Structure formats: structure tokens, C-alpha cells
A and B are shown apart, each in its own frame.
Chain A
């Protein structure tokens, strides 16, 4: 049987082998499918994957002390080459000798010609505060420096011989570095190159990561507690009423985020509506007004309210199609109302809870504007510091490292969620 068919190939009506014709037809279909998807793919690559990739690249790649890129012409010139060569020849911890200072001097003259002393100094300044002006000042004078250069540099600033400065310069002569990730978890490299914790009065990021996770979990839980009964009510009421109530859920959802945040400020501030009412009815004395704004309470209240619809909607969409006869059947078989809820109703809503919790949690981990406006000092989240480094300190590498850690954290939680609950159980609507 096998032998007889192997010899004669199947062909189409016009004589081409069937296999080929089939492959061609399939290829055409595949090309058309790719053609339809291509616009979205290009859009996502250009507006999402490339910028995020570039940003992440910045977190471990900084050329501030290795390459100068001229704005306008785009010419790339290697800088600090002589110093890098000296570092290659001498091990870490070696006392900088006259040759090292001569190399430094030549490199700084080069920086002056390129007008790159500021950016190179900024890179070192991330690790050694105060060095930026040492570089710009040295660049102005380096041309007229006379050997011995060690003394010439000491004349400018006696910090030029600090081992810590030389250690930071050594680290920075490589474009690829983990320094920004270390800084993002409150660590640094000491003179010997060992990883150590930064001074206690500068430790902030780990604390904020933990606070961000804690507040996000808290907000997710609060939205769940508030949203579950509302969604149940909406799902069980006759459509006429539930549509009306749904408007009350959606109306704030459609209102601008800023408007809702500032409304909370009007309500909660110490001269605000809530405090005025409490003082008015005599619950509070005028001088004991509650501080509900510019602290963690403000952040939690405002964010819970703003994110509530993201919990209500998935829950509602899951609860609506649940057949009420299941619970009725359980009750008729003798289950108490609690048992019927726990064993029959609740398990059917789990996909909605999962979807809502994931949405609210991921949104709140990256929340920025609300904590910035109502959070005061102790209601700040990690996103506020990312924004700070993006906009104010302009240390984009550190901002990128913080963002990458946040992204990794969310991905790990997502993976855990998938293992524990199963991503197939997610129902968004």
C-alpha cells in the first residue's frame, strides 16, 4: 500500500504537485494575516517596546565617562581614554601616581575641548558628591597646568587624591555598570570594590518599594471589600435599577483623575468639608481637626476611590450571569445562607476577583499623580521618586533602574498569581 502511493505524486487539476500548491495557498493566507497584524505590531514596537527597551538599556549602560556624543553632528568621541588605560594597568586600590594624574590632566584637557566636562563630572557626581564642579573647574585650568600634576590638582582641590573618588572613576570608565541597580536598592561599592549598604540617613528606596507593595495590597483589599457588595447588588437588581446605579459607578470613572483627586483635597483637608462638619456638630474641637490629607491616609482614601470601578466592573460582569437557582438549590438542600454563599456563590466569582485584584494592584503599584498631590511626606510611593529622577535630578539611569526593579517585581507577582490562581481563571468582562 505504502509502496504504491510513494511513486505517484498527487497533483492538482493543472498538474502542479498538490503539496506545493497547498503550501503556496497557505503562505498567501499567512502573509495576509501578517499584513493585517503588521500595523499594530509596528505601532507597538515603535511606541512601546523600543522606548522601554531604550530606557531599560540606560539602567545598566551610561556613557557619561566613556564616550562624548556631540549634539547636532552626532559624532561620538571616546573620552577619558588615558585614565582608562592607567586603570587597566593598575589594580584596584593602587595609589594614583604621577602617571595617573598626568593621564587625568590630558583627559580633562580633552574634555575641555569637547565641552564635556560637565557631563563627565555629572556621571562621577552620582557616586561622589561634589565632584562635578571639580571637573568643570579643572577643565577651565587644565591647559595651564604644569607638572608635577599631582600637586597641580591638589592646588585646585584637595579632594582630588581621595581614594573614594578614584574608585568611583574606575567604576565609571566602563560603560556597562550595575552601579545604578545597587543605588536603587540602597547599596554602593566601597573603595575596595565590595558591595555595602549606603549610609543610613540616605537609605530610602527599599523602604519605598516595601511601602508601595504594602499600600497597593491594602488598596486592593479595600476596593475588594467595598466593591463586592456593590457588584452583587448591581447584578441582582432588575436591569432598570441596576443601570441607574451603574451610572453612579461609571460617572466618577469618566471624570478626570485630577478633578477627583482635588475633590478629595477639598473634602479631607483640615479646613475642608469633613472636618468642618465634624467641628460643626461638635464631635471635634476646632483645634483638634483631623489630619486626613498630606499623609498616608489621604493617599489610601483617594486611590481606593479612584480605583474602585476597576474592581466593580469585572466583579459585575462575572456575577451577572450566575444563575440564582444554584444558591436556591443549595438552600433547599439545607445549606445555611453562609454555607450557600461560601460553597456555591463565592467560588463562581473568583475569576472576577482575580481580574479586579490584578488590575487594581498593577495600577496602584505605578500610581503617581494622586500620591504626589495628597500624599505629603509619608504617603509617597516609589513612582514619585522615579518621577523625581526623571524630571528634577535628571539621573535617568537611576530612574530606569528603579523602574526596571518595579517591573520585575510586578512580573514576579504575576507569575505567582498564575501559579496560585491560574491566569486562565481571569475574567475581565
Chain B
């Protein structure tokens, strides 16, 4: 009897679930503080306004499960938040739905969406929501003086201590060249030549013995807090979180930071395509993007949002200076060249892995 009622209940639940499914959208993001910012800034107001339920799922890198789902023909996600190079690559491979940019609302100052978004933020299959940055952070308790340039990061005499770097050719080689005095604007031209690559590896050689390599985004803050490294490259949002939410004495050195987009994409075969489009159009309007910036220190992808960026959700921290897109932060900043990396990823990572193994 009991068994039967359980069965009945689950059958009804299944039926009810199917009924709700018409009004839902499943969004896959990166978890942690970033996901929270999206839940607060996008999902809650979206659900309240449209009545569409938003289900959030987390992944280490949503591009990987997304590729697997589409290829297996079993797509359970409607919207995914992916990095630039993944968005372009997945789109090229035909795994994503094209997104018509005319569904995006104009900025609240009336600028059409195509002009309101930052350069490159709108792609055939993707719409950017945030600008994030890989920058050098240091623990003021373990560093004497104030490092101001990328050259200081590579100078273990003036600033003793270990250095944290992401175990990947991407960002590492660019920073090595900037540390060697190459201005941000010339980095990719230089990396396109054999001499430039050699120069980057030669610069890395100077601190090879002092490098602690990290792989997961949460590691740098831990390494800095433990005193394992004096300085480390890190995603700026993670450092902000450690500074404000955990009160760690960290500082970010913006010189030589590398900017990147995160974008919304729709996998081919998404079950709730209409809702997915509605969700993307809603989430990337001026106010929503600005609102997200009050939950995490990632910059909005629309120009018109900048005017609305105010206080952090604690009500006291001014977000402006923590943004990778603030004027001070942009003085010597590099925008990640996705096309360079889709082309050179294989070769440079091969060389990077060989260099690591030496």
C-alpha cells in the first residue's frame, strides 16, 4: 500500500513536472559567488516578472558538459555561461543556436544594442554579460612595498617570495612579455613570431624555480592567504570576494591585467528555446547588468550600465575601483585575443607543457 502511494505520488510529480516544464529555463553557470550574483541580479527578477521558473545548475566549465550533451542528443540545459574562446569554438562546430541580436533591448539611454555592447561582446551565437580579468594580486602582509608594474611580478629580488601562475600558456605568456617591458598593445604581434615566443619563455625561465602553478580559480586566494606565494595571478572577482567578504589584506595590481568576456549561449536542441531567448534578452539589459555588478566585481558588458554601478551588496563598498573596467585599471590592460588563441592554443600549450616538463 505504502509502495503504491509512493509510486502514485511520483507519477503525479512527474506529470506536474512536465506541466511546469513549459514555463522553465535551465541555466548552467560556474557556481560560487558568480552564480549567486546571477541568481540575485537576473533570475529572481526574471522569475517575478515573467512567471518562468529559472533552474540554475553549476559546472566547472559549462562548455564541457554542453558539448557532451549536444553530441549525445540529450540536451537538458537551455542557457549556458561560457568563456569567449569556447563560445566561438562551439559556434563554429555547429553546437549552438544562432542568436538574433534584434531581440536585445536598446540601452536605457536609447543606444541600439549593437552599439551599446562593448566591442566583440555580441557574437553570432553568444551575448556577453560580464567582463572579467586575470590580474596580479598580492598579500600586503607578505610583500614589502607596492608592486606597480608587471616587471615587479617577475622581479624576485625586489619583491622576494614565490609567484602563483595558472598552469596554462594562455595569459602566462602574455604576462611574461609585459613583464619584459612589451606594451600591452604589441603583445599579440610579438607572440605571433618565433622570437616573441622565445622571449616569453626566456622571461619565465628567470622565475621558473619560484613558481607555484594553480589550476582551479579558488586556489590563488588560498595560496595568498597561506603565505605559500607572495603574489599570484588570479581572477579579479575571487580576490574581491576574499578582500570584502573575508577581510583578507589582498591588493590587486591592475597593470598588465588581461580582460575576457563571459557569454550566454544556447545549445542546439535546447528544450525551452523561447524562454532561453527571453532570459538572455532580459538578463543583458542595462539595469540587470549594472545590478549584477553590485554582487561581484565583474564589469558589465554594456556601456550604458557603467553609470548605474554603485555600492556592493554590503551597502558600504564602492564598486567602481574594484571593476576591471574602471579607468585606472584600464591604463595598461590587454584584451584577450580569442582568435590568436584558438589558432595557437595547440602549438603554444604543447611547447608550454614541454617547457614545464624540462
Contacts and interface: CB of A to CB of B under 8 A. Distances in A.
Contacts of A372: 215
Interface stretch (B42-50, B276-284, B345-353): B345-353
Given A125-B346, A132-B343, A204-B353, A71 B95 contact: yes
B189 interface: no
B343 A118 contact: no
A19 interface: no
Given A294-B213, A377-B356, A118 B64 contact: no
Contacts of B93: 71, 118-119
Interface in A94-135: 114-119, 121-122, 125-126, 129-133
Contact of A269 (B89, B228, B349): B228
A377 B92 contact: no
A133 B342 contact: yes
B89 A376 contact: no
A294 B162 CA distance: 12
Given A71-B94, A271-B228, A125 B350 contact: no
B31 interface: no
A71 B346 contact: no
B64 A131 contact: no
Contact of B354 (A116, A133, A203, A376): A203
Given A377-B211, A395-B346, A201 B351 contact: yes
Interface in A117-173: 117-119, 121-122, 125-126, 129-133, 136
Interface of B: 61, 64, 67, 70-71, 73, 88-89, 91-95, 162, 167-168, 208, 211-213, 215, 226-228, 268-269, 339, 342-351, 353-357
6 contacts: A71-B93, A122-B92, A129-B347, A131-B343, A208-B357, A380-B356
Nearest to B124: A115
Given A71-B70, A271-B226, A377-B213, A115 B94 contact: yes
Interface of B is mostly: helix
A392 interface: yes
B219 to A, nearest CB: 9
Contacts of B343: 125, 129-133
A279 B61 CA distance: 41
Contacts of A377: 167, 208, 211, 213, 356-357
Nearest to A203: B354
Nearest to A199: B351
Interface of A: 70-72, 114-119, 121-122, 125-126, 129-133, 136, 201-204, 207-208, 211, 269-271, 294, 372, 376-378, 380, 385, 388, 391-395
Contacts of A380: 356-357
B321 to A, nearest CB: 30
Contacts of A121: 92
Contacts of B64: 391
A115 B268 CA distance: 14
Given A114-B94, A129-B347, A203-B354, 20 more contacts: A70-B94, A71-B95, A71-B269, A72-B73, A115-B92, A119-B92, A129-B343, A129-B346, A132-B343, A202-B351, A204-B357, A207-B357, A211-B357, A269-B226, A372-B215, A377-B167, A380-B356, A385-B353, A392-B349, A393-B349
Nearest to B95: A71
A393 B345 contact: yes
Most chain B Cβ neighbours within 10 Å, of A121, A208, A271:
A271
Contacts of A208: 357
Contacts of B67: 394
A119 B89 CA distance: 8
B357 A378 contact: yes
Nearest to B210: A291
A71 B268 contact: yes
A204 B94 contact: no
Nearest to A183: B350
A393 B63 CA distance: 12
A71 B270 CA distance: 12
A203 B94 CA distance: 33
Most chain A Cβ neighbours within 10 Å, of B91, B269, B345:
B345
A294 to B, nearest CB: 5
Contacts of B269: 71-72
Given A71-B70, A71-B94, A115-B94, A204 B346 contact: no
Contacts of A204: 350, 353-354, 357
B168 A392 contact: yes
B214 to A, nearest CB: 10
Contacts of A388: 349, 353
A202 B346 CA distance: 11
Contacts of A114: 94
Most chain A Cβ neighbours within 10 Å, of B226, B343, B344:
B343
B344 A117 contact: no
Contacts of B70: 71
Most chain B Cβ neighbours within 10 Å, of A201, A269, A380:
A201
Contacts of B92: 115, 117-119, 121-122, 136
The 7 lowest CB-CB distance pairs between A and B, nearest first, are A118-B92, A129-B347, A204-B354, A377-B356, A271-B227, A130-B343, A133-B343
Nearest to B96: A71
A122 B341 CA distance: 12
B268 A72 contact: yes
A361 to B, nearest CB: 22
Most chain A Cβ neighbours within 10 Å, of B227, B342, B348:
B342
Most chain B Cβ neighbours within 10 Å, of A202, A208, A391:
A202
Nearest to A114: B94
A289 B193 CA distance: 40
A391 B94 CA distance: 19
Contact of A376 (B212, B268, B344): B212
Contacts of B350: 202, 204
A123 B159 CA distance: 44
Contacts of A207: 354, 357
A132 B353 contact: no
A394 B92 CA distance: 14
Contacts of A130: 343-344, 347
Nearest to A385: B353
